[in-house]
């Protein structure tokens, strides 16, 4: 085995390029996975644009499918060569947060929490847009790919599907609830699929991009709203007997969609926010004045762990969840410098790309 | 029986005074209650100051203890002369919201919802700072006072105790959780008592008023913080291994306390807001950026209904909840014009007043 | 309007026949509904066989679709002629149980609870296998049929669909959970549909009747097990990595299916029971010894109320729930004496019948 | 350091005695703890009587307080000499069950689940009635003792307090609920304390032992019932307006108490069972017939993990939970052969004993 590998390294703003770097070493609770397919996430675009800080020299990327290459001595039950996915968040299972059920906020064995949470890959440690990567807390995070499923069919359970669907679960959607999802980017599309999966009675998708609204229908939306053509808040109310939706999901992270969520939900409704906010947001007066709204605002970071990834892959296998349809472009790892601007600038009708080492 | 009665009527900003008005008539699903004790609420102060609009001529007040005077023909199981309390919120039990469990957002038989919610007394219909008042949806809202309890012992279950304690329940406080309550006004004091009742592991109360901090201790706080003497956020973190509180309760309704709540909770923590906001509030960036906080923000309006009021009166009876200690001043109904400025301006160390017709 | 009507009256064991009886009178909180379509329930078969006692002379039946004929003076917002369904359970919305969220255990304005619960129609008061019936607590129980839906499309939300789906909600099925439903009678088939609706990852249906197993597939089962051909417990384990299902639903009410549920679930799994038990059941030792199973056993009675019925009709309207396919036979009210033995003895491949006055 | 130590070894029925055995070796994810105080559990009595099988030669005991003696190379953040408790259940944090939140059913890295669950110490591996023991999955299970607390103050959080209180949480006791606890052995007493801690409105304790009923009052019961003097079911109903308790907790594990729980709860009530059953139990007909009861039966095994133990120790530290009062007898490890029959046969008014190596 060689000592070095090719990897996408963050150097500077708008400068992520392929370098030859050392293959990571395997500690006792780690595994090393050989990447077979990965992708670029919206969060990687934030890094690329300099909006989210990572250390120069960091290998980026956090959504891998691959093959187990090596397992640490304290890891049990896995074989070299097994096909796995690993989530963007890598819970240790042992800390205060993991034992509280807040896996996404994992503090790790080192007991460090906060802005980083359990998101380590391509953030606080080297990531997966590379030939190999190190899996921390491998026992809790190596999720076997069910037989018969391709990398492309399961790849998005590592982050966007888990997050989008978790936002639906966080919102505690009940059978027959009306759910509106603001913004149909990759993660919003997954929330739309999640709302349908969970038994929402009416799934409403909002965006301005005709292609994405079309895809929203394929993912499970009953009604789509082009907000450039009609007022989405008024339309949601019209569709829900004037009351407003039981649940609104925010999937972009700007004031406008956040505020539209608050205005679109019924009294005592639920706003579930998974967008990545680049600025403060303001709660308009009405929902809060005299506390009269009884509104919940819940934020969701991608929960991780092999069980959750496994459950979603079960849904893919049984035919309930088609994530592969989100893929619009395919690149090799060497082409990643070309893929970053295309994906980040939403060129050429891109929804999701794959990256193959 | 006379046809008219004395009642506190909202006339104009800072002008609530006693007038002779007709005694309300009893419809088939109503009851008429003769008031024996009532109080002034912070919301009444908002009305008095002109910050919350009610129609001129409206009888105000929404926290009554009294005696059943008349029951409508469709109401069953109640006798004239029984002692009861009625909540500020009067759920009908039959509408979409009531059947969804959101009693505080009751739309009533008329199916009207929104800013008013289920708060009718002293708001959308005449209230209880009077000799008599009409109870809408009486079957669901006449809560018998357990034998042996005085009006003063149970009066505050009609609103502030129900709301303050509901905020603790909304926050789903777990045994051993650390809970910080920002602002120790009457409702914040009830939230402090609720956190203790529910089994919080550490109850922290924040205010600047020495007397209220003293009362917070009597209501159940383990630690009190005078925010003029030390930074409450830093202190909360110091008391919670650096992580932050599991739950923060906002009981004032201004940007500063709202923001302190968000800064005081641990990752994946819970902010439960029951304050009455007079202006928009802004969510600072950190808890939302990259959705990384997994923070929940939940707002609570006073839930109503005779069952909940009954449960709280059970807790008073068994000796777990001492609400009477909040009473600092007592007035007759005729003195209410004097009581309003005293209570609203927090003069003379007032916490809660009683009003006796 | 005439004073009398035809109605199916319980006279004696295996003797339910059509008689001319008075049309019920409308009290202030009631409505009178003219029945357009109804059905026979498994519970009616218990009555017919003498296994569940009702008073001789009682009009039976509790699953009506019809048209509002009269509304009481205390009922608001409904018009004569509107098409409605009314649930088997008629919560009052005002009692201890309704305010606790336990609508199915409604004690009513009379505050009577226990074995009867909120099930009044065709049980403690006259039922709906008649030309007209009285709706108690009409404000809470008149559920408008959405425009465009036929009686047959919505009829079963009045009981079996509400119950079967409620059992799934009681079990708190999570996305991707494996769910096994023991017995595919009408209510079991609805539970199967509910499991699929709610996002179960694998829905397993067990029965011995080939036609019902076929219908189970149409209602949403991924796998069906004929328990006369293979051991259902072993098969469930084989389908779930050896662990057992996350949730087992009991839909028959006998020791064998109850025990199979307990044996089929994984450690810390959930047994949700909606079957009608005619005899005591015994919990085998293993799940209970040393408390080691962490098993939950939850029983569900049909929850009622117009909101829930409305939510299910929304799911029918949007095309997620096809209940009409359960209908195998259609009778007029005058033919009901023929329909009872056919349905109760499961003759001629019957699943559900309709009865049309 | 020596190679051997004294330990209580199960040899045969009613034969547990002190032997010299090897000190356990520390694997990479383990720790070795030097025991300072331990105790005998009811489950140990089952082993002693031969009612629960463990392999001859097994060191027994699963409730330790001690000092860290050695930590594995994969364990981070702990120092030799720190004072800790370790729970009876030792969740790995990485398996399907741990990630599902069912820590007590932990399958471990070896992915073995079932009758053993996460209970390893003194069961499937050597236990803690010894000078030293090995802690599996040490990162998740070493719970530091807060400064200022003695071993005796915190010892019972390792099992009985965690279990008894967990049964209250499993039952989802709400503020003001009435709770009856059947049997006031050590674990029932902890459930009584838990009900009080959690804000129950009325805590009723049932037993026949006057001393234990006295202790129940000290632990938080409002009312005690000696079932040899009055019918506990009738008394519970009389105390709860005839409805029955909101929650009944079974803490013995026999048909009589199980059935009394089912008979004592209100419709839609909750039975939380933590007793250790030695035989099958039968559900009487009424709560199940026609599913009419809406009863939940939930069983609880001791949940583990350092967070939960830490939360309970916080409650001890803040003065809300006094567990030390349960100690009636103190023995050295060498006297354990004398302690077993005394504790198992409930001689000399014993409630709990301590064992000091």
Chain C residues within 8 A of B87 when measuring between CB atoms: none
Is C12 strand, coil or helix? strand
Contacts of B among chains (3+ CB pairs under 8 A): A, C, D
Residue B48: CB partners within 8 Å, gap ≥ 6?
B10, B13, B14, B16, B340, B344
- Determine whether the interchain pair A197/C174 forms a contact, defined as Cβ–Cβ distance below 8 Å: no
- Determine whether the interchain pair A311/C169 forms a contact, defined as Cβ–Cβ distance below 8 Å: no
Residue A304: predicted pLDDT: 87
Residue A288: predicted pLDDT: 61
Q: How far is D23 from chain A (nearest CA, A)?
A: 21
Is residue A65 within 8 Å of residue A357, measured between CB atoms? no
Interface of B with D in 283-312 (CB under 8 A): 310-312
From A119, A282, A300, residue closest to B282, measured CB to CB: A282
Q: Looking at the complex, does the CB of residue D61 fall below 8 Å from at least one CB of chain A?
A: no
Q: How far is B249 from chain A (nearest CA, A)?
A: 13
- Determine whether the interchain pair C194/A175 forms a contact, defined as Cβ–Cβ distance below 8 Å: yes
d(CA D339, CA D354): 9
Which class for A81: exposed (0-12), middle (13-18), buried (19 or more C-beta within 10 A)?
Answer: exposed
Print the SS3 string covering chain D.
CCCEEEEEEEEECCEEEEEEEECCCCCCCCEEEEEEEECCCHHHHHHHCCCCCCCCCCECCCCCEEEEEEECCCCCCCCCCCEEECCCECCCCCCHHHHCCCHHHCCCCCCCCCCCCCECECCCECCCCECEEEECCHHHHCEECCCCCCHHHHHHHHCHHHHHHHHHHHCCCCCCCEEEEECCCHHHHHHHHHHHHCCCCEEEEEECCHHHHHHHHHHCCCEEEECCCCCHHHHHHHHCCCCCEEEEEECCCCHHHHHHHHHHEEEEEEEEECCCCCCCEEECCCCCHHHCCCCEEEECCCCCCHHHHHHHHHHHHCCCCCCHHHEEEEEEHHHHHHHHHHHHCCCCCCCEEEEEC
pTM of the model: 0.96
d(CA C125, CA C10): 12
Q: Looking at the complex, does the CB of residue B63 fall below 8 Å from at least one CB of chain D?
A: no
d(CA D24, CA D5): 9
Among B149, B162, B199, most D C-beta atoms within 10 A, so best to mutate, is: B199
Q: Looking at the complex, does the CB of residue D52 fall below 8 Å from at least one CB of chain C?
A: yes
d(CA A217, CA A225): 11
Which class for D58: exposed (0-12), middle (13-18), buried (19 or more C-beta within 10 A)?
Answer: buried
Using CA atoms, how far residue D218 sits from C32, D321, D326, in Å, is 57, 11, 10
- Determine whether the interchain pair C296/D301 forms a contact, defined as Cβ–Cβ distance below 8 Å: no
Chain D residues within 8 A of A28 when measuring between CB atoms: 28, 73-74
Which residue of chain A is at minimal alpha-carbon distance from B100?
A: A268
Residue D242: CB partners within 8 Å, gap ≥ 6?
none
- Determine whether the interchain pair C201/A315 forms a contact, defined as Cβ–Cβ distance below 8 Å: yes
Answer whether residue C96 shows pLDDT above 60.
yes
Residue A90: predicted pLDDT: 97
- Determine whether the interchain pair A290/B96 forms a contact, defined as Cβ–Cβ distance below 8 Å: no
Report pLDDT digits (tens) over D19-54.
999 999 999 999 999 999 999 999 999 999 998 889
Q: How far is A255 from chain B (nearest CA, A)?
A: 11
Answer whether residue C115 shows pLDDT above 90.
no
Question: 10-residue block means of pLDDT along chain D (357 residues)?
Answer: 92 97 97 98 94 94 98 97 97 96 93 80 97 98 98 98 94 95 97 97 97 97 98 97 95 92 92 83 69 77 91 96 98 98 96 97
Chain C residues within 8 A of A169 when measuring between CB atoms: 174-175
Q: Looking at the complex, does the CB of residue B177 fall below 8 Å from at least one CB of chain D?
A: yes
Answer whether residue B301 shows pLDDT above 70.
yes
Is C216 strand, coil or helix? helix
d(CA C355, CA C340): 11
- Determine whether the interchain pair D117/C267 forms a contact, defined as Cβ–Cβ distance below 8 Å: yes
Q: Please give the average per-residue pLDDT across C176-197, as a whole number.
A: 97
Which residue of chain D is at minimal alpha-carbon distance from B202?
A: D318
B309 phi/psi in degrees, rounded to 5: -60, -40
Query: What would the two tokens of residue B92 be?
Result: 């009908």
Residue D291: predicted pLDDT: 45
Point out the residues of chain A with pLDDT beneath 50. 290-291
In this structure, chain C runs to a length of 357
d(CA C321, CA C318): 8
The confidence band for B295, taking pLDDT boundaries of 50, 70 and 90, is confident
Is residue B40 within 8 Å of residue B75, measured between CB atoms? no
The better pLDDT of the pair B275, C301 is held by C301
From B117, B268, B293, residue closest to A292, measured CB to CB: B117
From C113, C243, C295, residue closest to D113, measured CB to CB: C243
From A177, A178, A198, residue closest to C175, measured CB to CB: A198
Among C29, C79, C93, C96, most B C-beta atoms within 10 A, so best to mutate, is: C93
Among D108, D290, D295, D304, most C C-beta atoms within 10 A, so best to mutate, is: D290
d(CA A162, CA A305): 10
Q: Please give the average per-residue pLDDT across B316-334, as a whole number.
A: 97
d(CA D269, CA B284): 43
Residue D289: predicted pLDDT: 54
Residue D115: predicted pLDDT: 61
Is residue B5 within 8 Å of residue B21, measured between CB atoms? yes
Q: How far is B54 from chain C (nearest CA, A)?
A: 25
Which class for D229: exposed (0-12), middle (13-18), buried (19 or more C-beta within 10 A)?
Answer: exposed
| Percent of chain C's residues with pLDDT above 90 | 86
d(CA C265, CA C239): 12
Is residue B137 within 8 Å of residue B93, measured between CB atoms? yes
Query: What would the two tokens of residue D164 be?
Result: 């008894």
Q: Which position has the token pair 């209880």?
A: B128
Print the SS3 string covering A185-203.
CHHHHHHHHHHHHCCCCEE
d(CA B229, CA B234): 12
Residue D297 pairs with which residues in a beta bridge? C297, D271
Instruction: Find, among D95, A183, A315, A50, the residue nearest to C267 by Cα.
Output: D95
From C176, C194, C198, residue closest to A314, measured CB to CB: C176
Chain A residues within 8 A of B297 when measuring between CB atoms: 296-298
Chain D residues within 8 A of B321 when measuring between CB atoms: none
- Determine whether the interchain pair D301/C294 forms a contact, defined as Cβ–Cβ distance below 8 Å: yes
Report pLDDT digits (tens) over C292-348.
578 888 888 888 899 999 999 999 999 999 999 999 999 999 999 999 999 999 999
From C29, C94, C100, residue closest to B140, measured CB to CB: C94
Which residue of chain D is at minimal alpha-carbon distance from A72?
A: D74
Neighbours of B338 (CB within 10 A): 13
């Amino acid at each position: 085995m060689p000592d070095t590998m090719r990897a996408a390294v963050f150097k500077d703003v708008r400068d992520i390029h392929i370098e030859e770097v050392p293959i990571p070493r395997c500690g006792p609770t780690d595994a090393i996975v050989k990447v077979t397919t990965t992708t670029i996430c919206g969060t990687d675009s934030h890094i690329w644009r300099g909006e989210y800080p990572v250390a120069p020299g960091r290998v980026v990327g956090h959504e891998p499918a691959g093959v187990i290459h090596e397992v640490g001595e304290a890891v049990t039950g896995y074989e070299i060569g097994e096909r796995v996915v690993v989530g963007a968040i890598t819970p240790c299972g042992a800390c205060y947060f993991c034992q509280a059920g807040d896996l996404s906020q994992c503090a790790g064995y080192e007991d460090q929490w906060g802005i980083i949470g359990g998101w380590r890959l391509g953030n606080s440690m080297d990531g997966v847009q590379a030939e190999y990567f190190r899996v921390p807390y491998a026992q809790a995070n190596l999720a076997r790919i069910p037989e018969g499923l391709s990398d492309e069919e399961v790849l998005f359970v590592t982050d966007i599907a888990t997050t989008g669907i978790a936002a639906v679960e966080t919102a505690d959607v009940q059978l027959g609830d009306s759910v509106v999802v603001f913004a149909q980017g990759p993660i919003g599309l997954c929330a739309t699929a999640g709302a349908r999966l969970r038994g929402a009675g009416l799934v409403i998708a909002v965006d301005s991009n005709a292609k994405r609204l079309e895809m929203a229908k394929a993912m499970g939306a009953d009604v789509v709203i082009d907000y450039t053509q009609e007022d989405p808040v008024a339309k949601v109310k019209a569709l829900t007997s004037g009351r407003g939706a039981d649940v609104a999901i925010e999937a972009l992270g700007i004031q406008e969609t956040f505020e539209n969520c608050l205005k679109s939900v019924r009294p005592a409704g639920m706003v579930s926010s998974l967008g990545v906010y680049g600025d403060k947001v303001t709660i308009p007066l009405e929902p809060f004045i005299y506390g009269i709204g009884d509104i919940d605002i819940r934020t969701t970071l991608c929960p991780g762990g092999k069980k959750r990834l496994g459950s979603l892959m079960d849904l893919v296998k049984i035919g309930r969840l088609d994530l592969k349809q989100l893929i619009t472009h395919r690149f090799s790892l060497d082409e990643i410098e070309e893929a970053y601007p295309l994906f980040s600038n939403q060129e050429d009708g891109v929804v999701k790309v794959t990256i193959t080492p």
